[in-house]
Amino acid sequence: MWAINEKFVDYSHPQEKDSVFLNPNQTMNPQVIEYPIIWKGFVGSEEVEIIQKGQGAHLDLHFIFKKFPERYNHIKPDIINWIHKYLRILN
């Protein structure tokens, strides 16, 4: 089971949509979230690794897209929103 499991529009895909699947590298306890959080999984069929350095939502300050396919750069803001939504639901 994936912590983040979201679909997005991808016109290069035969069904014109694809998915993001991400899991954090730690058990998420809403009282004690320790940073950095390393999110690993898939965007489409490609492996990704995203490092969340803090609780903020600023792309350049709080997230490092360490392993990420360039063709999906346009959905980085969506991924950050999905991560924040997941963390808010924990509370």
pLDDT confidence of residue 52: 96
pTM score of the predicted model: 0.89
Rounded CA gap, 27 and 70, in Å? 29
Per-residue confidence (pLDDT) for residue 19, from 0 to 100: 95
Report how far Cα 71 is from the mean position of its chain's Cα atoms: 15
Written as one string, the DSSP assignment of 37-79 is: EEEEEEETTEEEEEEE-SS---HHHHEEEEE--GGGGGGHHHH
Name residues of the chain where pLDDT drops below 50: none
pLDDT at 39: 98
Q: What are phi and psi of 21, to 5 degrees?
A: -125, 120
